[in-house]
Chain A
Amino acid sequence: MLDLFDFGKNTVFILSCYGLSAGVILALIVVTLHARKLTKQQLAEIIANTE
């Protein structure tokens, strides 16, 4: 397993690039999906209450 992620002397740079990209992209996705879920719930509640 560790061998797989060994890219020689620049391993740190390569892995931090991929890690950073994955982290930022995941954060974007989580924030967006969370907001989407919240508003969906809110809308459903309001519709249920007003009818």
Chain B
Amino acid sequence: MLSFFANPIRFQSLAKWLVPIFGITAFGLIVSAWILGLFVVPIDYQQGETFRIIYVHVPAVTVASLAYAFLASASFVSFVWRHSLADSAAKAAAPIGAALTFLGLATGALWGKPMWGAYWVWDARLTSTLVMFFLFVGYMAIRGAIRDETTRARIAAITAMIGALNLPIIKFSVDWWSSLHQPASLLRAGGPGIDSSMLYPVLMAIVGYGCLFGWLVLLKMLTELDQRRSLTLMRRAAGRIGSSASVQTTEDPNA
């Protein structure tokens, strides 16, 4: 199936279907989940009103991790089969993933202050999310530093795959490290017996953020395809003008 849609034309026709579906689903789910989360869901007896932050925090973190998985898989496809579409998918995913990771960290910090009394604690989950943020940033930075298209695609793909190998190791090390250094008395989010009326909006928000991610990635990929097409057309036109320059005088205002 992957190779079927590796053809840019087929991809474009599929994307034209998927874009409005993703966009509308994302909008509907996120808005309704937030309204439910802010105004409808009952107060958690342990955490009180701050529990409402879960509806922006958990989807951001979850979809950010999925975004990294997507980035790494697209990079793998791009590296092994040298598909330029896979590379452009990875390129599109990185800034969105970084933004979502940032949102996860920021909302986590704002949740931590009323709950733990500190904006930042070096808890295992926070720390590995921070590392993931740096993986996204590093990926984007290394893309920005390479001019040649093929080299860029390959080096960026290797970088993303190293990150994917490294993330579970970091998770393992940080888990061990924080169990050693942290007093294990942190009040955990969720915990046992979460009410289903509280859970549904979380799931809705996760699916909504996922659709938002897909929507943005597809839009960015379509944009890049159009950019490439403009470039080829311009080059071709320039070539035509160049070769027939002796016959044609410069009449074209856009030449």
Contact = CB atoms under 8 A, between A and B. Distances in A.
Chain A directly contacts chain B within the complex, with at least one CB pair under 8 Å: yes
Interface of A: 4, 7-11, 13-14, 16-18, 20-21, 24-25, 28-29, 32-33, 35-36, 39-40, 42-43, 46-47, 49-50
Contact of B226 (A18, A21, A24, A43): A43
- List 5 A-B pairs, minimum CB-CB distance, nearest first: A7-B49, A21-B56, A39-B226, A17-B107, A10-B114
Interface stretch (B122-130, B133-141, B154-162, B227-235): B227-235
B219 A49 contact: no
Interface string B41-52: 000000011101
Interface residues of B, number: 39
Contact of B52 (A4, A9, A14, A24): A14
A22 to B, nearest CB: 8
A42 B111 CA distance: 44
A16 B226 contact: no
Contacts of B223: 32, 35-36, 39
Contacts of B38: 14, 18
8 contacts: A4-B39, A10-B48, A14-B52, A17-B56, A25-B30, A28-B99, A32-B216, A49-B237
A17 B53 contact: yes
A24 B103 CA distance: 8
A22 B76 CA distance: 32
B230 A46 contact: yes
A25 to B, nearest CB: 7
A41 B230 CA distance: 10
Contacts of B216: 28-29, 32
A7 B60 CA distance: 22
A10 B115 CA distance: 10
B110 A16 contact: yes
Nearest to A38: B223
B143 interface: no
B225 to A, nearest CB: 9
